[in-house]
Structure 1
Amino acid sequence: MHHNTFIDLCLFYSILLSSTHFSKALECYVCDNQEDNKGKCLTTIQTCNYGEEVCLSEIRWGSTPYWQQGALKQYFVSKRCATKDKCEKFRSNNMATCTHIWYEDWKCSECCKGDRCNYYIISDATAIGKSVLSLVVGLIIGRVF
């Protein structure tokens, strides 16, 4: 009888351990309003809290937070951990102003999943890629007609 209890306990714990999901917390790069995607934005890593399953990156083009007449425009990069819902809300709210027009203030947000997935700022590269594509298409059309 004692032998069966031991086997039952072993079986119980085996099933319990096999059904338990062990997950490692997500890691994201974090920084706040840095002038570019260098330095702190590429060296500071945070282990995200429970429930924060994505990395949120924001890039803003505009004048300094304390606006001054004639102030030059520049990039501001922020990165952090976020819930998927919060990240999608930021992304949706910023979509209308995510224009990449150099003479206007704009802000873009992006979400990614996976450890340290927010190393690069994708939306900036996407805008450059679109500009290059437009230039190439324009040159091809110009040569054809």
Structure 2
Amino acid sequence: MNSMKIIACTILFASIISSCAALECYVCSNQTENTEKCLNTIKTCEQGEDVCLTEIRWGSQPYFTQGALKQYYVSKRCSTKKLCTTIRRKYMPYCTHIWYEDWLCSECCQGDRCNYYVISGSERLSYYLWYVSAVITLLVYPILSL
């Protein structure tokens, strides 16, 4: 009986400690790729910062000029969910991924070091996957019910 109490207390203590631990995000600013600093620099977020924000920009520096070399610029940081959502809404009209135009996209994620990879457009992908699974279910269900 005592061993059960010790196990229960240990689990409770571990869950309290993990819920109090601050979020960790990868951080970098205007790096030309998602390498080196963007994958090696980790910051413990401030209180209230509950998501990791990633911004990816395609364009030329400092201003667009005809024929200028275009490349990716990656920035990562801690953020509040409210600010991250506001930034996402602001950038969505410019998140075109058209190679000959300058564009800018952002992503928000929750969880320690969740912004390791730069995944642009994942929210749209989840809607697409949901749609595909619904269509497959509608097509397969009549066959399975025979």
TM-score (norm 1): 0.69
Structure 1 residue 24 corresponds to structure 2 residue 24: no
1:70 Cα deviation after fit: 3.4
Identity score, percent: 64
Which residue is 1:46 aligned to?
A: 43
SS in 1 for 2:120: helix
| CA distance, structure 2, for counterparts of residue 24 and residue 51 of structure 1 | 12
**CA distance 1:51–1:42, shift in 2 (3 Å):** same
Aligned to 1:141: none
Match of 2:111 in 1: 114
Q: State the superposition RMSD in angstroms.
A: 2.7
Q: How many residues align?
A: 112
TM-superposed deviation, 1:125? 8.0
After TM superposition, the runs of 4+ consecutive aligned structure 1 residues lying more than 4 A away are 66-69, 124-127
Q: Which runs of 5+ in 1 are unaligned?
A: 1-17, 131-145
CA distance in 2, matches of 1:30, 1:66: 24
2:42 corresponds to which letter in structure 1?
A: I
Q: Which has the larger radius of gyration?
A: 1
Structure-to-structure mapping, 1:5-84, within 5 angstroms? 22=17, 23-67=20-64, 70-84=67-81
Q: What is the TM-score of this pair, normalised by structure 2?
A: 0.69
Residues 16-59 of structure 1: CA deviation (Å, up to 9, x unaligned):
xx9xx551000000000000000000000000000000000000
For structure 2, the 5+ residue unaligned runs are 1-12, 129-146
Distance of aligned partners of 1:42 and 1:55 in 2 relative to their CA distance in 1, 3 Å threshold: same
Structure 1 residues 43 and 113 mapped into 2: Cα distance closer, same or farther (>3 Å)? same
1:30 partner letter: V
For 1:12, the equivalent position in structure 2 comes to: none
- Residue aligning to 1:90: 87
CA distance in 1, matches of 2:115, 2:121: 13
Deviation at 1:62, TM superposition (A): 0.3
